[in-house]
A = this chain, B = another copy of it.
């Protein structure tokens, strides 16, 4: 396992692919995971096309999960629990799993501007109940526009509200500095994912009402200058 590698499960989807592009462009080794190996390899080839010197490989989700100290879950909410159950045996103590999940009501055939309730409180807290002891869970990146991530020439104007236990949270906050425009904001304990995940549904509604297909972001106003809390 390379210590600077980042695994992105569901890296074939819009948001996961966007993060893969940005992290590869920043010079970090990226492992894209997918249920099917060939789809992961296709996504890796797409990233290399945009970032010719990028260090990117495609793997099955199970393989990808074992190949990086930080494993980002960028998968539709309805596949979250089953995916975590499928990779849990590959996870080892000290690894960090990052939940980008948002319980959009699309999971039950309703709209993306609403959410469903989760017994554990949030998608991130659901993940926390499923990973082995010693594996840390952090919530981040839910509010970042997939479209803006994929447009490498432009900055991504968005704050990333990162929540979880202090040490892993700070490691995930440091990843935000790899993407021009992103700013990490210390959103405290993992339970705050309950609020952060909901904001995505609000932003999706705003994207529609204001006709901004590229996707809006969120900024916390009034933070001390230069302070990303990391």
Contacts of A175 in B (CB 8 A): none
Main secondary structure on A side of the interface with B: mixed
Q: How far is the CB of A119 from chain B (nearest CB, A)?
A: 13
Q: Assign chain A's interface to a size class.
A: 35 or more
Contact A222 B215 (CB under 8 A): yes
Does A40 lie at the interface of the complex (its beta carbon under 8 Å from any beta carbon of B)?
Answer: no
Does A27 lie at the interface of the complex (its beta carbon under 8 Å from any beta carbon of B)?
Answer: no
Contacts of A186 in B (CB 8 A): 206, 209-210
Question: Contacts A217-B222, A219-B221, A220-B216 known; A187 to B206 CB distance under 8 Å?
Answer: yes
CA distance A220 to B205 in the complex (A): 12
Q: How far is the CB of A223 from chain B (nearest CB, A)?
A: 6
Does A174 lie at the interface of the complex (its beta carbon under 8 Å from any beta carbon of B)?
Answer: no
Q: Mark A98-114, 1 if CB is under 8 A from B, else 0.
A: 00000000000000011
Contact B218 A158 (CB under 8 A): no
Does A198 lie at the interface of the complex (its beta carbon under 8 Å from any beta carbon of B)?
Answer: yes
Does A177 lie at the interface of the complex (its beta carbon under 8 Å from any beta carbon of B)?
Answer: no
Does A165 lie at the interface of the complex (its beta carbon under 8 Å from any beta carbon of B)?
Answer: no
27 A-B pairs with CB atoms under 8 Å apart are A114-B191, A148-B222, A158-B221, A161-B202, A186-B209, A187-B202, A187-B206, A192-B205, A194-B198, A195-B202, A196-B202, A198-B198, A203-B220, A206-B223, A209-B229, A210-B223, A210-B229, A211-B224, A212-B222, A212-B224, A215-B222, A216-B221, A217-B220, A217-B221, A218-B218, A218-B220, A219-B221
Question: Which 10 interchain pairs have the tightest Cβ spacing?
Answer: A217-B221, A219-B219, A157-B221, A216-B222, A195-B198, A195-B202, A219-B221, A188-B205, A186-B209, A216-B220
